[in-house]
């Protein structure tokens, strides 16, 4: 009987422990629901603030465009002219417009959503812009939801080609990231590319494939390698110069008879980590630029060519001579 009593006590103890675990589980479940609710509220708040920021950016550009125009003509003010209009997710949002096109104007608009959201944006705001080039990078949000839908991208491209029929439209495939399997990304990009093929006026950009050391975390590219690499990738695709622009000293400022074009060159040493093995191609670029601008004015080339014209070593080797 004592053994049965001891066994019964253990069973009651276990039941008490289970009841305690159930209570703790319910408490944790309640806390998790509260956290999820707060995250939802924060997401809604961020989206609202993002919309406000976009509206403020549009208002600033409108005021800049209207500067110096009489009030009675404001109703006739046209669109924001730009060289590049970027419609993209949070990856391209971090591109700095003034550095992307130093000699022109780039406008970046963050699309918080997928293809359907982007279509709504273009339908509502597209007429406010007059871009020479449009860069679209959409689809990651679709992957986080129900996936890329074949009918939504044709609607987006229809709206874009209708709104900007004189602009060049470029589409960047979804960028691989650590939190989404590559097979899912590739399948989505195949769908997007098939739709692009139906529109002769839309240019497909080669996929950007970041290396492991280009990521800041599972999603975003870092500032050291990731962002510079994708900016270079996009500039090449849009035929934007990736070389430093020439500085011009005008004759009106200096009193000289001709304009002066100043080019700054920096060639890294042969064994430097920043050295470019194809140095001859760089010299060819410099020469072609000199030829181009020499007809417009005088040329000054300055900087460090790390010039070394001899065939002998530029350092003293160890030998048997002592002194």
pLDDT winner (highest mean) among 15-24, 213-222, 277-286 = 213-222
For residues 141 and 89, is the Cβ–Cβ distance under 8 A?
A: yes
pLDDT digits (tens, 9 = 90+) for 112-127: 888 988 999 999 999 9
What integer best gives the mean pLDDT of the chain?
77
The enclosing domain of 232 has a CATH number of: 3.40.50.1110
CA dihedral 150, 155, 160, 166 (to 10 degrees): 90
Q: Dihedrals φ, ψ of 81, to 5°?
A: -85, 135
d(CA 178, CA 220): 9
Same-domain status, 99 and 223 = yes
pLDDT digits (tens, 9 = 90+) for 71-91: 555 445 467 899 999 999 888
pTM attached to this predicted model: 0.57
Same-domain status, 173 and 116 = yes
pLDDT of residue 121: 92
Q: Examine residue 152 and state whether it is found in any structural domain, yes or no.
A: yes
d(CA 86, CA 167): 13
Tokens of 15: 């039941």
CA dihedral 99, 124, 147, 231 (to 10 degrees): -10
Residue-number span of the structural domain to which 285 is assigned: 247-304
Q: Examine residue 12 and state whether it is found in any structural domain, yes or no.
A: no
**pLDDT band at residue 281 under the 50/70/90 scheme:** confident
Q: Examine residue 317 and state whether it is found in any structural domain, yes or no.
A: no
Q: How many structural domains does the chain have?
A: 3
- Residue 3 pLDDT exceeds 90: no
Q: Examine residue 319 and state whether it is found in any structural domain, yes or no.
A: no
Same-domain status, 56 and 131 = no
Q: Examine residue 261 and state whether it is found in any structural domain, yes or no.
A: yes
Q: Examine residue 5 and state whether it is found in any structural domain, yes or no.
A: no
Mean pLDDT score, 175-180: 87
Same-domain status, 83 and 218 = yes
Q: Examine residue 13 and state whether it is found in any structural domain, yes or no.
A: no
């Amino acid at each position: 009987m004592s053994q049965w009593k001891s066994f019964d006590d253990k069973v009651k103890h276990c039941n008490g422990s289970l009841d305690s675990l159930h209570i703790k589980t319910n408490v944790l479940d309640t806390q998790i629901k509260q956290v999820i609710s707060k995250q939802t509220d924060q997401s809604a708040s961020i989206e609202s603030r993002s919309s406000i920021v976009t509206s403020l950016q549009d208002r600033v550009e409108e005021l800049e465009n209207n500067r110096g125009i009489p009030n009675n003509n404001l109703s006739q003010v046209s669109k924001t002219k730009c060289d590049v209009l970027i419609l993209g997710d949070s990856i391209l949002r971090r591109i700095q417009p003034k550095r992307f096109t130093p000699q022109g104007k780039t406008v970046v608009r963050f699309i918080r959503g997928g293809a359907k959201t982007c279509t709504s944006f273009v339908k509502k705001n597209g007429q406010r812009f007059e871009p020479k080039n449009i860069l679209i990078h959409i689809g990651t949000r679709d992957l986080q939801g129900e996936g890329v839908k074949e009918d939504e991208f044709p609607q987006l491209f229809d709206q874009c080609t209708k709104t900007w029929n004189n602009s060049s439209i470029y589409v960047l495939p979804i960028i691989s990231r650590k939190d989404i399997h590559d097979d899912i990304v590739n399948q989505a990009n195949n769908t997007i590319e098939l739709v692009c093929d139906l529109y002769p006026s839309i240019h497909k950009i080669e996929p950007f494939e970041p290396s492991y050391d280009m990521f800041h975390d599972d999603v975003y590219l870092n500032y050291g390698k990731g962002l510079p690499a994708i900016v270079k990738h996009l500039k090449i695709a849009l035929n934007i110069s990736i070389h430093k622009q020439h500085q011009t000293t005008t004759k009106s400022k200096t009193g000289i008879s001709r304009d002066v074009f100043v080019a700054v060159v920096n060639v890294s040493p042969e064994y430097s980590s920043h050295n470019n093995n194809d140095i001859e191609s760089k010299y060819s670029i410099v020469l072609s630029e000199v030829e181009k601008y020499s007809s417009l004015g005088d040329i000054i080339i300055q900087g460090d060519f790390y010039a070394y014209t001899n065939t002998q070593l530029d350092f003293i080797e160890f030998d048997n001579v002592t002194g």
